[in-house]
Structure 1
Amino acid sequence: MTRAPAAPESADQSATDLAPSGQASPDKRKARRSSADRPPRRPTAPDGLVVVDKPAGWTSHDVVARMRRVAGTRKVGHAGTLDPMATGVLVLGIGRATKLLTYVVGADKEYVATIRLGVATTTDDAEGELLTCADPSGVTRAAIDVGVAALTGRIEQVPSSVSAIKVDGQRAYARVRAGEEFALEARPVTVSRFDVHEVRAVPDDAGPVLDVDVTVVCSSGTYIRALARDLGAALGVGGHLTALRRTRVGGYGIDGARTLAELEEIPDDVTLDVLPLAEAARATFPVRDLTPDETRDLSYGKRIDAGEPGASEPVAAIAPDGTLVALLTTSGPHARPVLVFAPA
């Protein structure tokens, strides 16, 4: 009696998967080789913030994309866009810390910048096309100080036309590139400091110009390019921004920032060091130290007593062991969690 041929031992071990010698087929060996050639994935970074000193020529999205590899996770976001020409503090959130970024974005910011008087450009910075030229040699330091004073405090500012503000659902810069003409509405911003450090005459292809080195501390949503444009317009000679460096966002300064080169030097088998959630929250929010009972109630999403009045909101609620439990807002006699970081 003739026996039927034996069936393969499993669906994976079919005749096409084995070479005549019983070894894996060439396709399988090739797949294994390509897998082995891939660099090992970095360990996933813990939840927290990383302050990066963004280099010139990089977009904020470029930095986020690079940090996803360094942090071993795709859950990376940034708090507040920096133009490609700008350098300095870019706050990144990793993991659950991305939930804090909404609040970090609204923090005040500090910049050092150089404003060039005598030339106006289409983008209000050095990357735009020349619009007008005027000889600024008659502009005095006293006149500059008067112009700066008028742009200090609570002011109405028209953003640059190439900003990321949306107009009818499209970014303003995209509409400019498409050749559209439109006007952005002025919006209130606060410039709490606008200090002039040095004014110097420098040669330029467009003719004589004045470079003004300044420090600006301002509210979120303030455009330093627009300050340069408006100062030049007030002095009657035009102006634009030639250099911009962000030195602080809220409680995060340039002294605590790391360059991308430093971050990429971290060995592939070493976990990225981050600013833990509780420390990150302490740098951004007022802090309330919890009792064990309050910690338990908030972990279940329950309300607790409002506590002492007067603190700005939200408040970071810190457990006795030092972990961030929640962000709180006050409603009448109670404080309720708006974000819970340590659920039961």
Structure 2
Amino acid sequence: MESTPAFTPASDGIVVVDKPAGMTSHTVVARIRKLAGTRKVGHAGTLDPMATGVLIAGLNRATRLLGHLQLADKSYDATIRLGATTTTDDAEGEIVATAPVDGVTAEAISAAVEGFRGEISQVPSQVSAIKVDGRRAYARVRAGEEVALKARAVTVSRYDILDVRPEAGGISVDVSVDCSSGTYIRALARDLGAELGVGGHLTALRRTRVGSFDLSSAHSLESLAKSFDWLPIADVAAGTFPRYDADEAEAAAIRTGRPLPGLNLPPGQTAMFAPDGTFLALYEPHGPVAKPTAVFVG
């Protein structure tokens, strides 16, 4: 097995970060820019400052690849606190209402969770990053404005209860969730508390997976400072999409984004490689012709 080449400021690839608590995703990107020695760093899937876990950063040309990767499905481990409602639906907000939880049983919690599995209609948290008339919802809330967000369809494919712990003044519920992009775990906590009639908010959140990238491939910022572990763009493309190895003539056409007639590609996007192993582009079939969706060289 070939080892990963040393990273240089001109390298194209991704870094899977295990984001620490108390840091914004933007701050993580700034740290990666400094460690990588390049300004061209972007990320996919923002995490709140309170949250930890998988955050994917693209380096140089790989920032454009992020939008093509299959990153819609995500997994989280979380703790929900029943018995109190907060302004932000998580522990960073102010408590605005409390309720006794004496009558809330583990069986009642399990029955309530059942109603949030599958495709559901969810109103995002008011302090989400969704834009309302050009401004982020959280910015409007922090400015004292009332924000009304529309419900949206999301899919919760797994919502498992791991532990139920009665505590002083409330109940903590540890859960594990698989969901589609756009699902707010804070909203799941809020809505579970509302369904049980006692209120609820999120007290801990850890993202364990984004698409095919999970914590097993994630690195802390401290470890990245010692050894910058990254995934070259060619490896990511080959591991994500069907691969086509072009000949020299085809590679020359691909480098300039020209259509390739008579090329029988599978449905969806295919990663196109030059004879020397360079990742060139993503192509997809359009009838008898293969056309580019993104070219990464030239």
TM-score, shorter chain, exceeding 0.5 = yes
Tell me if structure 2 keeps the 8 A contact 1:45–1:273: no
Q: Pick the aligned partner of 2:177 from 197, 200, 216.
A: 216
AA in 2 matched with 1:232:
G
SS at match of 1:258: coil
Q: 2 CA distance for matches of 1:181 and 1:174?
A: 11
Indicate whether 1:252 and 2:250 are aligned.
no
* Backbone CA RMSD of aligned residues: 1.8
Tell me if structure 2 keeps the 8 A contact 1:46–1:274: no
Indicate whether 1:296 and 2:257 are aligned.
no
Indicate whether 1:330 and 2:295 are aligned.
no
The CA deviation at 1:109 is 0.7
Q: Which has the higher strand share?
A: 2
Structure 2: which 5+ residue stretches go unaligned?
A: 1-6
The CA deviation at 1:287 is 1.2
Q: 2 CA distance for matches of 1:290 and 1:45?
A: 24
- After superposition, where does 1:1-344 map in structure 2 within 5 Å? 43-44=8-9, 46-104=11-69, 106-203=71-168, 208-266=169-227, 272-283=228-239, 285-292=240-247, 293-304=249-260, 305=262, 307-309=264-266, 311=267, 313-343=268-298
Structure 1 window deviating more from structure 2 (334-343 vs 175-184): it is 334-343
SS at match of 1:181: coil
SS at match of 2:28: helix
Q: 1 CA distance for matches of 2:156 and 2:282?
A: 28
Q: 2 CA distance for matches of 1:105 and 1:172?
A: 27
The CA deviation at 1:324 is 1.7
Structure whose alpha-carbon radius of gyration is higher: 1
Q: 2 CA distance for matches of 1:210 and 1:84?
A: 24
Summarize deviations over 1:190-224 as a string: whole Å, max 9, x none: 11111111111122xxxx21111111111111100
AA in 2 matched with 1:295:
A
Q: 2 CA distance for matches of 1:107 and 1:329?
A: 20
The CA deviation at 1:105 is 7.7
Q: 2 CA distance for matches of 1:280 and 1:136?
A: 48
Summarize deviations over 1:85-104 as a string: whole Å, max 9, x none: 00011100111000012234
Q: 2 CA distance for matches of 1:131 and 1:117?
A: 13
Q: 2 CA distance for matches of 1:277 and 1:236?
A: 49
Q: 1 CA distance for matches of 2:217 and 2:245?
A: 28
Q: 2 CA distance for matches of 1:253 and 1:137?
A: 38
The CA deviation at 1:265 is 2.4
AA in 2 matched with 1:211:
S
Q: 2 CA distance for matches of 1:110 and 1:290?
A: 33
Tell me if structure 2 keeps the 8 A contact 1:156–1:189: yes
Q: 1:242 to 1:45 in 2, by over 3 A?
A: farther
SS at match of 2:61: helix
Summarize deviations over 1:110-144 as a string: whole Å, max 9, x none: 11001111111110000001021111221222222
The CA deviation at 1:320 is 4.3
AA in 1 matched with 2:258:
K
SS at match of 1:65: helix
Q: Tell me the TM-score normalized by structure 2.
A: 0.92
Tell me if structure 2 keeps the 8 A contact 1:79–1:104: no
Percent of aligned positions that are identical: 59
